[in-house]
Structure formats: structure tokens, C-alpha cells
Amino acid sequence: MTGEEQEEESILFKAEETPLCPRCEGRTLLLARYQHSWTNGRGEDVASRKEAALCPACDHKDPAAAELLALFAVAGQVSSENSETFAGLLAAWVESVRHRTVDNVRRAQAVSASPLFRRSA
């Protein structure tokens, strides 16, 4: 998207009844859904949405996530008193997860360790 085409992005979030973390299967604090686009094999832009779960165990080393986790640790939840701070921290965290890429080494290790992908002798 160019600057002229870019609209104000909406980030939808859910802080109650969040799913388990897809990385560690632990408890998550929130689920965010945000706009995402990619280029398909024909070179066309495809607009879609992605989701990311905020996990205290997995995300504490990410600086943007750490600030959001700190807000939850201190305040416990989003309220009218901290909603503006929360919105800024949420936007910063979503921007950081938007740029995550697949760790191919870790993926290959997980595949090779899985009994589903082992070759029979």
C-alpha cells in the first residue's frame, strides 16, 4: 500500500476467552486481528487478515510485547483510565508481530522430530 492508499488500520482484539498459545499451548492474554496483505504468484496484491496471540511465556522478550504485558500485570485489564495507553501499546505490538517471519531452521527441526514426518526404514 502506498501512503495515499493507506487508510487508518483497524485492529480488533479480544481479551476474554482467548485461545491457547499456538507456540507453547499456554494461556494467552489477548488475541489481535489485523490487516495483512501479500503478493500471490501472479504478482497480485491479496488483502486479508492475520491473528496474533499475546503469550506471557513466549512474548516476554519482545520489547513491544513486554510493554503490553507490563500493562496487564499492573492494571489487570483494559479500562477507561488506561485505554489510550493500551491502544498505543497494542498498535506497537501488532506492528512488531506483523514483521515476524518463519524460522526455517526451527521449522525443519520440528518437522524432523515429528513422528508424522519420519521415514520408514
pLDDT at residue 1, rounded to an integer: 38
pLDDT at residue 57, rounded to an integer: 96
Distances (CA, A) of 31 to 15, 17, 38, 54, 116: 7, 9, 21, 6, 29
Residue ranges, the chain, pLDDT below 70: 1-8, 101-102, 118-121
Beta strand residue intervals within 17-121, DSSP E:
30-39, 45-54
Amino acid at 45: D
Partners of 37 in the beta sheet?
Answer: 47
To the question of pTM greater than 0.75 for the whole model, the response is: no
